[in-house]
Structure 1
């Protein structure tokens, strides 16, 4: 992408917006993700949450889909998730 191009803009509300969280494997990470999503995106579909284990089982990647309402919501989700020592990366 050249410097003159801007990244694509997201139109809100944006249904089926994926958020991927990488962190230490275990129930604590799942509880954290569910708690943060319920706070910032109430009613998100927990049944659609996917979990992938790393090759050695030390880490997990969780993907959730929400209806993104705005940039402030996405920023708050990212900040709340990344504050935990369990979380390594949020995309």
Structure 2
């Protein structure tokens, strides 16, 4: 039986991200009405300073899918984890990177 690896005492010191920092997230889903609005609304829930003017859109070659890149101000690992969970659980979203 193996011994579990102990968790770090302070997760902030083991993070590769310095908080606060600008953090890009790519969200992909079908190109449908409301997709960009849904992603924007979620970003605003987790980052009150989110600027929708920074959103980048990229259609798939066939035009069926849409990539939406948002850049949020990350303030903690917990914030990012919850943001990813909320995005991935949205019915319009297929992939979050």
TM over 0.5: yes
Residues 37-56 of structure 1 aligned to structure 2 (within 5 Å): 37-56=43-62
Structure 1 stretches lacking a partner, 5+ long: 1-6
Q: TM-score, normalised by structure 1?
A: 0.84
CA root-mean-square deviation? 1.5
Gaps of 5+ in 2: 1-13
Instruction: Number of aligned residue pairs: give it.
Output: 84
Match of 1:12 in 2: 19
TM-score after normalising by structure 2: 0.80
Bigger CA radius of gyration: 2
The 2-side partners of 1:10 and 1:45 are apart by: 21
- Is 1:23–2:66 an aligned residue pair? no
Runs of 4+, deviation exceeding 3 Å: none
